[in-house]
Amino acid sequence: MSVTGIIFSNVHDSNIPELTRLRTTASVPYGCRYRFIDFTLSNMVNSGVTSVGIITQANYQSLVDHIGTGKDWDLASRSGGIKLIPPNFTAFAQEARQSHVPTRLESLKTATVYISRRKEDLVVLSDCDVICNIDLGDMIDFHQKNGADITIATKKTNLTQELAAKNVIVRTDADSRVNDLLVYPKDISGEHDISLNIMVIGRQKLLDIIMDASAHGYTSFNSDVILRNIRSYKIMAYSYEGYFACVSSLAEYFACSMQLLDPEVRRTLFKVKNRPVYTKVRNSPPTRYTAGSFVSNSLLADGCVISGTVENSIIFRGVTVRPGAVVRNSIVMQDTVIGSSASVNCTVLDKNVIIKDGVTLSGHESYPFYVPKNSIV
């Protein structure tokens, strides 16, 4: 069967407001050279999905710049390809929209025309911030073999109460059929299957759900669609075993980024056979290390000039670390400059930041110090 993809680019903007004040969640930088959406797009392309719609709501200029024509994901084609679906509201409703982040179901209502014009049989729905390397082709086969109406990707995870309250817990029978859903439950901990917010559903079934939701004023896909129809729909759970991360706070963004310093995490995420992770290619020169520089246990992109000390850090493209500067346990985004004899520790420096000579910044791994884009400190 043919498959199209739908990606929600803004649904989690409120989780990390520091990083999404001027961008969508989809275009949050990650891992030296990637954006969150690169993983979702790559998962779809690697599984044979050749048409993808990205639902946008606000602050999507950086997303447009990153995606471009879609050529870096082999999605620059006349038939199918990649399409950004803009928000559907009038000037009178814009102020109200800015204070409200639409849910997945509300976002899908704006994509009704796009979905109805597609000819594919199935739709893969995915959040933009699902950091994993999943074989969606295998999930689609699982969906078809079981004759499912909806298939949800899940992962068995050991949850604290705080983490459980941010996730949807999926309960199944012995045949992997979903029989209950706990939406952001409180006072639950231990090992549970959680939803990865990736679903496979028939295109016509999805259109019927959207029409029914519009008629009844439903807003939540999990509560108003899945839970209401858990017995009448055949809803299956597809178990994913690989690495998975989903960011719901700045501290989690920091922790997930630092996990990339583990070679095993990098291997399971980036070195899966026939499933590469694609991103926008910039053709920068190699990073230059000058005499007296020192780098330890760090990831550095190309185009950097390192003249100081970098330890246990993630360094994006075009970063300059001047002589005597020390960068430890930090995330330094594109084109940032660390001045001479400056020191940063447990910090997240957004793009185009300038840290002046001799400045010291320090946070904690549970509360990293954040410097906004284009700032001078």
Residues 220 and 301 in one domain: no
Residue 366 falls inside a structural domain: yes
51: number of Cβ within 10 Å? 21
Residue 299's domain spans which residues? 288-371
What does the alpha-carbon distance between residue 257 and residue 246 come to, in Å, rounded to a whole number?
A: 11
Residue 323 falls inside a structural domain: yes
Residues 334 and 262 in one domain: no
Residue 87 falls inside a structural domain: yes
CATH at 329? 2.160.10.10
Among candidate residues 184, 10, 215, 197, the one with its CA nearest the CA of residue 97: 10
pLDDT for the residue numbered 101: 63
- Residue 214, pLDDT above cutoff 60: yes
Residue 279 falls inside a structural domain: no
Cα dihedral value 249, 253, 259, 261, nearest 10 = -160
Residues 178 and 300 in one domain: no
The two structure tokens encoding residue 353? 């930041």
Q: Tell me: the pLDDT tens digits for 319-377?
A: 999 999 999 999 999 999 999 999 999 999 999 999 999 999 999 999 999 999 999 99
What is the mean pLDDT of the segment spanning 68-77?
90
State the DSSP H helix or E strand holding residue 360, giving kind and residue range, or none if neither: strand 360-362
pLDDT for the residue numbered 86: 87
Residues 171 and 256 in one domain: yes
pLDDT for the residue numbered 319: 97
Residue that terminates a domain, selected from 210, 238, 270: 270
Residues 204 and 70 in one domain: yes
- Angle of helix 36-46 relative to helix 136-145, nearest 10 degrees, comes to 60
Residues 181 and 231 in one domain: yes
Residues 168 and 210 in one domain: yes
Q: Tell me: the pLDDT tens digits for 92-108?
A: 444 444 555 678 888 88
What does the alpha-carbon distance between residue 316 and residue 20 come to, in Å, rounded to a whole number?
A: 18
* % of residues, the chain, pLDDT over 90: 76
Q: Tell me: the pLDDT tens digits for 285-312?
A: 999 999 999 999 999 999 999 999 999 9
Residue that terminates a domain, selected from 270, 300, 320: 270
In this structure, what DSSP letter does residue 236 have? E
pLDDT for the residue numbered 100: 58
Q: Find where tokens 């969508």 sit.
A: 24
Residue 283 falls inside a structural domain: no
Residue 280 falls inside a structural domain: no
pLDDT for the residue numbered 78: 78
Evaluate whether 314 touches 31 at the Cβ level (below 8 Å): yes
Number of H helices, E strands in the chain: 11, 28
Residues 198 and 265 in one domain: yes
Residue 121 falls inside a structural domain: yes
Residues 336 and 259 in one domain: no
* % of residues, the chain, pLDDT over 70: 96
pLDDT for the residue numbered 105: 85
Is the pTM value of this prediction over 0.75?
A: yes
Residue that terminates a domain, selected from 270, 298, 319: 270
Residues 6+ away with beta carbon under 8 Å from 366 = 251
Residues 72 and 189 in one domain: yes
Chain centroid offset of residue 223 CA: 22
Residues 41 and 186 in one domain: yes
- Residue 2, pLDDT above cutoff 50: yes
Residue 177 falls inside a structural domain: yes
What is the mean pLDDT of the segment spanning 233-243?
95
Residues 134 and 14 in one domain: yes
| 87-96, 102-111, 207-216, 271-280, range with the lowest pLDDT | 87-96
Q: Tell me: the pLDDT tens digits for 155-172?
A: 999 988 988 988 999 999
Task: Say how many domains are in the chain.
Answer: 2
pLDDT for the residue numbered 89: 56
CATH at 115? 3.90.550.10
- Please enumerate, as own/partner, the contacts of 185-192 that have beta carbons within 8 Å and a separation of 24 or more: 186/161, 187/161, 188/159, 188/161, 188/164, 189/159, 189/160, 189/161, 189/164, 190/158, 190/159, 191/156, 191/157, 191/158, 191/159, 192/156, 192/157, 192/159, 192/164
Q: 214: helix, coil or strand?
A: helix
pLDDT for the residue numbered 285: 94
What does the alpha-carbon distance between residue 350 and residue 316 come to, in Å, rounded to a whole number?
A: 10
